[in-house]
Amino acid sequence: MSKLKRIGTAVGLATLLFSPIASANLLTNGSFEQELVLGEAGGGWGFFSPADIDGWSSETNNIEIWNSGFNGVDAADGNQFAELNAHPETGNAFTLFQDIITTIGDSYELTFAYRARSGQESFSVGAGSLTDTVANTNTTSWTVYSALFTASEATTRLLFTSVDPETETLGNFLDNVSVNRVPEPGTLALLGLGLAGLGISRRRRG
């Protein structure tokens, strides 16, 4: 077998072993594509009961979704995104959360895109061992957030909460939210041994 084919086989094996881990977003509807917002692309938004939004819920009982392009704001992923500070105003901080099944003691990576609507904004994010406050000032493009957390329970709540503005209905766009389990070191070691064994086998045959 040629060197090129051996490399291709090794890459294929790595892809096969890693793809279930790398692609397994534990969240449902991470890019807020369901419920579909009524209206033409670039010209609509809506607010919904949490019961109407697949995967997500809110302690303030309302979730606001925008079409990509509405008011000149394109989605970071897909055709829709959420505004944390959702209409209508309730007098309380706005929340957006989702509960996911996790394994106690395992590590997970949280990533999401965020963007300010009108200026100096901020929100908090929590999941397992993670508690963070994110300053949100960029109104012209999306910023990607990434952090690791450790699960302390079999069910972990990913929770976004508005900080500034806290109770007003303008601010804190969110999109492309993902939680993925981080492979354990033993898994990576086994993969390395497998690839090394493949190389030895090919050399012997050569």
Q: What is the pLDDT of residue 43?
A: 63
pLDDT per residue over 50-66, tens digit each? Answer: 999 999 999 999 999 99
Taking the model in full, what pTM does it have?
A: 0.80
Q: Of the candidates 106, 124, 115, which has an alpha carbon nearest to the alpha carbon of residue 179?
A: 106
CATH number for 45-181: choose from 3.40.50.1860, 1.10.760.10, 3.60.15.10, 2.60.120.260: 2.60.120.260
Which sequence spans correspond to the domains of the chain? Answer: 45-181
> Which element (helix H / strand E) includes 67?
strand 63-67
Burial class for 114, CB neighbours closer than 10 Å (0-12, 13-18, 19+): buried
pLDDT per residue over 168-193, tens digit each? Answer: 999 999 999 999 999 987 554 455 55
